[in-house]
Structure 1
């Protein structure tokens, strides 16, 4: 499932390429025909991401709400202007390490591609190989391909296609794709837990601590509860618990307050890295060569996630895989006692 960093990157992509532009909308799949008709011809005026949900505003107070869910993704084509605050898939990546210390920029001049599908300009969401061609704009490091077809052909089941004169975004496989009024958007957001990139950090921390500390629910489930905290998915959940050396079965109310606070601060830290790089980098203090390997390969990027049966990177104990709340949980039974 796409986690919070991906949705924030999608929102920034829309901010740079759609907000302020007249948008043409259609539903090639046929499942959002009425909604697309209402959006068609309107100007996009704002976009925001909260946790795993994106809200795109159009003139006359009409909002498009999209929740990608397990399998959803946005495929982009045409001229894409890259937000300068995030790393481009085919350009320089990750010029700071996880502690914010500047690394040698020359190390990252060469492209770093992730076979798992993260850090993509052309398809953001559920990992997949890009299905559409991207003609890069002058603001990116790519070169224009004047021979690419425009508009791009529809491939597969596209729930919603949004186009400007030069950029196309195709939505596939979302859990939710709906039009909302401003009041409905506010009500949707009010049900979500704090997001470090949206809410005041101090206020968000207090909300998170209060919510966790009153619950008998295991902390491994609470971190995935979007009403408790927004944006955390299976990867970040496993990695954050390991980084805190916290047993995932510990009831929220039994987790020491300072540990809960550190979880919130770590989420803010990791989310910012994910938005910048497009990858769920959860290992700190890597040297430049190790950092490049980690950016290119998920197996070199995580402490415990997807490492069932392998030795813990710290103590050598075999990483455990179990199902919790219908999702896979990876953890070290020694370091997270």
Structure 2
């Protein structure tokens, strides 16, 4: 599932292509035909990313809400648009560009109160200037659940997925299984600041790199990581491989129904 930096990049891209003018909307697949008809002809005022949620705000007062989930994807290009191939839920066009959406978990139109409700149920987004990390920490401190599970809860921290969470915990030298109530305020502030920096960097580069300069392939004389997700990381999907800091084999286990990775020495 795309993490918050990917959704922010999509919001920026869609603003660049469509903001300030009317759009034509269609649903070649048919599942969003009614919504597309209501949207067509409206002017895109702005786009917004909140965690893993993408919002297109239109002058009609309607907002297009998209959550990509596991399988959703966007594609775009210059006109002329290609013939729709596969299950295209939504196609947007203007005088110059086309945009296709396939396989999202959510593709719906919201009115302003519904947008407010969506924002209200989401936690602090490290990429947003209006984030309230103190509220996230208050919830973490009240819980005995594993810290990794709490940081993956989108109602506590919005936009973080497994890669950012596990890597931030490694960089903080905190085990993913540590109960939330044991996290100090200083440690939380360090994690929050690190998430903000790592995710902002990913918005720029389009990939998640979490290793510090001294642990890059160039600095260590090691081969670059080969993985379909890309990026240089410390523990994510590196079970059995040596920790880049201490050399201990990276551990793997299940936590909250997800694979978790950590170093038993560095995060002891």
Q: Say yes or no: does 1:195 pair with 2:125.
A: yes
**2:73 touches 2:103 (CA, 8 Å); kept in 1?**
yes
Q: Say yes or no: does 1:249 pair with 2:177.
A: yes
Alignment match, 1:63? 63
CA apart distance, 1:329: 1.2
1:202-217 paired onto structure 2 within 5 Å: 204-217=132-145
1:251-290 paired onto structure 2 within 5 Å: 251-285=179-213, 290=218
CA apart distance, 1:250: 0.7
Q: Distance in 2 between matches of 1:276 and 1:233?
A: 18
The unaligned stretches of length 5 or more in structure 1 are 80-149
**2:61 touches 2:111 (CA, 8 Å); kept in 1?**
yes
Task: Work out the number of aligned pairs and report it.
Answer: 265
Alignment match, 1:95? none
Alignment match, 1:313? 244
Structure 1 residue matching 2:189: 3-state secondary structure = helix
Q: Say yes or no: does 1:177 pair with 2:107.
A: yes
Q: TM-score, normalised by structure 1?
A: 0.74
Q: Structure 1 residues 320 and 31, CA, compared in 2 at 3 Å: closer, same or farther? A: same
Q: TM-score, normalised by structure 2?
A: 0.92
Alignment match, 1:158? 88
Q: Distance in 2 between matches of 1:62 and 1:299?
A: 36
**1:279 touches 1:295 (CA, 8 Å); kept in 2?**
no
Select which of 223, 231, 235 maps to 1:304: 235
CA apart distance, 1:336: 1.1
**2:122 touches 2:157 (CA, 8 Å); kept in 1?**
yes
CA apart distance, 1:45: 0.9
**Which structure's relative contact order is higher, taking Cα pairs within 8 Å and 6+ residues apart?**
1
Q: Say yes or no: does 1:329 pair with 2:257.
A: no
Q: Distance in 1 between matches of 2:217 and 2:246?
A: 23
Q: Say yes or no: does 1:50 pair with 2:50.
A: yes
Alignment match, 1:104? none
Structure 2 residue matching 1:162: 3-state secondary structure = strand
Q: Distance in 2 between matches of 1:154 and 1:13?
A: 21
Q: Say yes or no: does 1:26 pair with 2:26.
A: yes
Q: Structure 1 residues 163 and 36, CA, compared in 2 at 3 Å: closer, same or farther? A: same
The unaligned stretches of length 5 or more in structure 2 are none
Q: Which runs of 4+ in 1 moved over 6 A?
A: 294-297
Stretch deviating more after TM superposition (279-288 or 60-69): 279-288
Q: Distance in 2 between matches of 1:262 and 1:253?
A: 16
CA apart distance, 1:199: 3.5
Select which of 108, 126, 148 maps to 1:220: 148
